[in-house]
A = this chain, B = another copy of it.
């Protein structure tokens, strides 16, 4: 048992784009466990766009991340000490232990993970929070019918990749939007979307129109701005929009919806959501997602940075769309 571990804290709030100096790597003592607590050695740290919002002081749906505290983050790892009856040393556990090699949590806040069916890291992606965000927005907001057309932005990302595959399994035509020919090829050829539009090619509206000959019935939005406007322009009457993220505006840019008139003209429904507010559905959703991964029906891709010190650069890359699939940091 080591006496110290490394962690990364929020050193300063970003002004504009996130930079290295917003973070600080430091060593801290491994704390003693109180009754009910568990010490977990993290194997993987998840990097997710929502963390950018927490780094700002501005009002958001969650409290902003405190300065000089461990950066928030989902983790999976292995129990190294336990004073909780449900966890034994060696058990695999998922939690919210942050950007750190280790962490202590009350056992009631940890989830025991079965790695006999799917790899440990997948509990941070397709069978974790991003998968649930896809599952919730698609099934509870878009509620697609067979034969409908669904558009997904950030289609090669951890959420978008699951959205499109779930919609394909439900008999939809699925069109992704992603940045660059490599991502688009992955979305089409590996993930099995019907089409993928490369927004970096500079003719998003025309390309999306060509890819959606029957219009668009559902929009799963991760980006916002011009991406959302292009999808709205193709919407059919009574279309549904699940607003999951606005990563296009993470550096504080305005992200106006210029096509507001089409919300009325086509009688569209739009709903913003935060998947962690719907925990009642997680057991059902996560079981479905894990089963689909185990059966090979739900594919995933991971971009893995090595070591805690690599987390800031990997996070900046995520915000700039440099990752393919789920962005992880491998800690052990």
Contact = CB atoms under 8 A, between A and B. Distances in A.
Interface residues of A, number: 31
A261 B254 CA distance: 8
Nearest to A229: B256
A260 B264 contact: no
Interface in A271-311: 271-274, 277
Interface string A9-45: 0000000000000000000000000000000000000
A316 interface: no
A274 B269 contact: no
Nearest to A241: B270
A272 B263 contact: yes
A257 interface: yes
A183 to B, nearest CB: 23
A234 B266 CA distance: 26
Contacts of A255: 260-261
A224 B261 CA distance: 9
A274 B264 CA distance: 8
A267 B256 contact: no
Interface string A109-152: 00000000000000000000000000000000000000000000
Interface of A: 59-61, 224, 228, 237, 243-246, 249, 254-258, 260-261, 263-274, 277
27 contacts: A59-B265, A60-B265, A61-B265, A224-B261, A228-B260, A243-B263, A243-B264, A246-B260, A246-B261, A246-B264, A249-B261, A255-B261, A256-B256, A256-B258, A256-B260, A257-B257, A263-B270, A265-B272, A267-B271, A267-B272, A267-B274, A267-B277, A269-B269, A269-B270, A269-B272, A270-B270, A270-B271
